[in-house]
Amino acid sequence: MGDPFIPSTYTVGSRELEKEVIAFFSRLFRADEDNWWGYVTNGGSEGNLYGLYLARELYPKAIVYYSEATHYSVQKNLHLLNMPNIAIRAQATGEIDYEDLEKTISINRQMPVIILANIGTTMTEARDDVGKMKRIFKNLAIQHHYIHVDGALSGSYAAFIEPRPSFDFADGADSIAISGHKFFGSPIPCGMVIAKKSHRDRIASSIDYIGSLDTTISGSRNGHTPLFLWYTITKLGIEGLKLRAQRCLDLAAYAEAVLKQIEPGVWRNPSTITVNIPKPAAAVVKKWQLASGKGWAHIICMPGMQKEQIDAFVDDLEQSKSQLPAMAG
């Protein structure tokens, strides 16, 4: 319970390891050495809520901008926080439309700006470019701004790929949320939020009976999830995590190649582990538990997936397509 970096009256927990986890990711995300803070959350949605909460406390009159490809939790969080917001068009790939963003901000340029940047949209794993957003601020002379990064999936491994996407604190982010049960493989849903400590200080309040500061969304938190994350980053290290990311990318490239042989419309965004496919037959969607919508589905080549699983999926897809004429007749 309480702030991970402040001792409390409750001493049975994993706070010391949680601090190591947060320190690891603050370095990975290139936060200023003396200006970072964070905690292990219950998942990416809580991390997004926290980032938007910090932004609102910093700029109470700001407008929030996010692309139409943004995760559904963001709209829910904006409703909970009662923050005015405007949705921005997304490009065909899922990345935000920067022209629409700049034009829309320019209409309200007298207002502070909060942007929700996606580093891996839900369906196509598109990445918004934080550096381009910063240039928009400069072009429009926007002095008061905040960028929260939703990196639920892609943000977990973006620091390990080349060229490195523009997404972290060095690029202009003010807070970053990622999931812990996806790329890092925690068996219990969890996540992390890393923010500038100077922003966190604005919302901190002292709670006498726990002997700590109230700086998190939830009061009591899961003490097991920091252990899983600590174990993974300690066991694998930077090089092991890079290797894990490369294996996922290699498998995604293989999946894209073999799927294109039977379905030419298959595609993926550069350096991602999500392969987009025209929505298959209902039986295939059900068997493989595919996330789908608007005529498309995807497979995500997560750590632990094997080439044999891709081959089995391809066989099912090919068989379902060969049955289509007979079914139509």
DSSP 167-223: -SGGGT-SEEEEESSSSS--SS--EEEEE-HHHHTTT-EEEGGGTEEE-SSSSS--S
Tokens of 324: 């289509």
Domain 237-328 matching CATH 3.40.640.10: the answer reads: no
- Strands 85-88 and 63-67 turn out to be parallel
d(CA 197, CA 151): 19
d(CA 22, CA 9): 21
d(CA 192, CA 214): 17
Quote the pLDDT of residue 329.
42
Residue 53: pLDDT over 80? yes
Per residue in 134-171, pLDDT (tens digit) is 999 999 999 999 999 999 999 999 999 999 999 999 99
d(CA 329, CA 154): 43
Three-state secondary-structure class, residue 296: strand
Place of tokens 């050495």: 33
Per residue in 87-115, pLDDT (tens digit) is 999 999 999 999 999 999 999 999 999 99
Torsions phi, psi for 179 (to 5 deg):
-95, 150
Quote the pLDDT of residue 9.
78
- The proportion of the chain whose per-residue pLDDT surpasses 70, expressed as a percent, equals 95
Residue 326: pLDDT over 70? no
Domain residue spans of the chain: 15-233, 237-328
Quote the pLDDT of residue 205.
57
Listed in order, strand segments (DSSP E) in the chain are 37-41, 63-67, 85-88, 113-118, 145-150, 175-179, 191-195, 205-207, 212-214, 274-278, 291-293, 296-300
- The letter for the amino acid at 114 is I
Mean pLDDT of the chain: 93
Quote the pLDDT of residue 109.
92
d(CA 132, CA 256): 29
Residue 327: pLDDT over 80? no
Which residue has better confidence, 207 or 4? 4
Quote the pLDDT of residue 309.
97
- The letter for the amino acid at 138 is K
Q: How confident is the model over 175-189, as a mean pLDDT?
A: 96
pTM assigned to the model: 0.93
How far out from the chain centre does Cα 171 lie? Answer: 16
- The letter for the amino acid at 107 is I
Quote the pLDDT of residue 214.
75
Place of tokens 């949605």: 45
Tokens of 129: 């470019």
Quote the pLDDT of residue 204.
65
Per residue in 191-234, pLDDT (tens digit) is 999 999 998 887 765 444 445 577 888 878 899 999 999 999 99
- The letter for the amino acid at 208 is D
Per residue in 57-81, pLDDT (tens digit) is 999 999 999 999 998 889 999 999 9
Quote the pLDDT of residue 324.
62
- Topology of domain 15-233, per CATH? Aspartate Aminotransferase; domain 2 (3.40.640)
**DSSP assignments along 49-94, one per residue:** HHHHHHHHHH-TT-EEEEETTS-HHHHHHHHHHT--EEEE-B-TTS
